[in-house]
Amino acid sequence: MLSAVMEDYIKAIYTIESDSGERVSTSTLADELDVTAPTVSSTLKKLEERGLVDREEYKGVTLTEEGELVALEILRHHRLLEAFLTDQLDYDWADVHDEADRLEHHVSEELTDRIAESLGNPPVDPHGDPIPDADLSFPEESETIRLADADKGECVTVRRIRHQGNAELRYLADAGVRPGMELTVVDVAPFGMVTVETATGTQSLPEDIVQLIEVVPLAVADGVES
């Protein structure tokens, strides 16, 4: 049986590697998990002995096939818990990540499946992150772009809010930006800020926030010149 710490490492490796497409360095993991490099090296050695990671000196670490399956199970637990907490217990979407982090290590597969069934087997969590199904396969997704790459005049639908902190989520909630919402790109500033029209009005979003938002372009908005 894996410890909660080991599961945290596996999930972190999967997430970082999925975003970057590259093997994960010890220093990157140390920063992500807020631990020292020697601590990372020690834990990675244990994971390697269990056949869950492949390490190469100076080249970083990647998950083995078995390690990836473990990561997908953890993500399924985590994202279904986030969906359950928001849908059934009225948690704010900015509060569910930390709560799910604590609970994900302690739920059985049977409970996870029952949660999924009670929610109607949702394809995504409250932040738009895809939820692996019972076979640990992801649902089909529309191709997305970052809001930062959208053109002036485009009408887009928000699909996903990438790796986020509570402050960023509360900022976006106040701005009326959530998965499923439609936005019109009013202006794109040269220094990265993007101004959008939402259901609650016009919002100017700073570059660090814009980079978190994945959207699906719909059409050029009427009356707005490119």
Is CATH 1.10.10.10 the right assignment for the domain spanning 4-63? yes
Which residues make Cβ contacts (< 8 Å) with residue 181, sequence separation at least 6?
Answer: 157, 158, 198, 199
Q: Which helix (H) or strand (E) holds 195?
A: strand 194-198
Query: Which structure tokens are listed for 85?
Result: 């907490």
Among candidates 150, 159, 115, which has minimal Cα distance to 134?
115
- Tell me the pLDDT of the chain (226 aa) as tens digits: 899 999 999 999 999 999 889 999 999 999 999 999 999 999 999 999 999 999 998 899 999 999 999 999 999 999 999 999 999 999 999 899 999 999 999 999 999 999 999 999 999 999 999 999 999 999 888 889 999 999 999 999 999 998 768 888 988 988 889 999 999 999 998 877 899 999 889 999 998 899 899 999 885 334 344 3
Instruction: Count other Cβ atoms within 10 Å, centred on residue 103.
Output: 16
Domain limits of the chain?
4-63, 145-222
What fold is seen in the domain 145-222?
SH3 type barrels. (2.30.30)
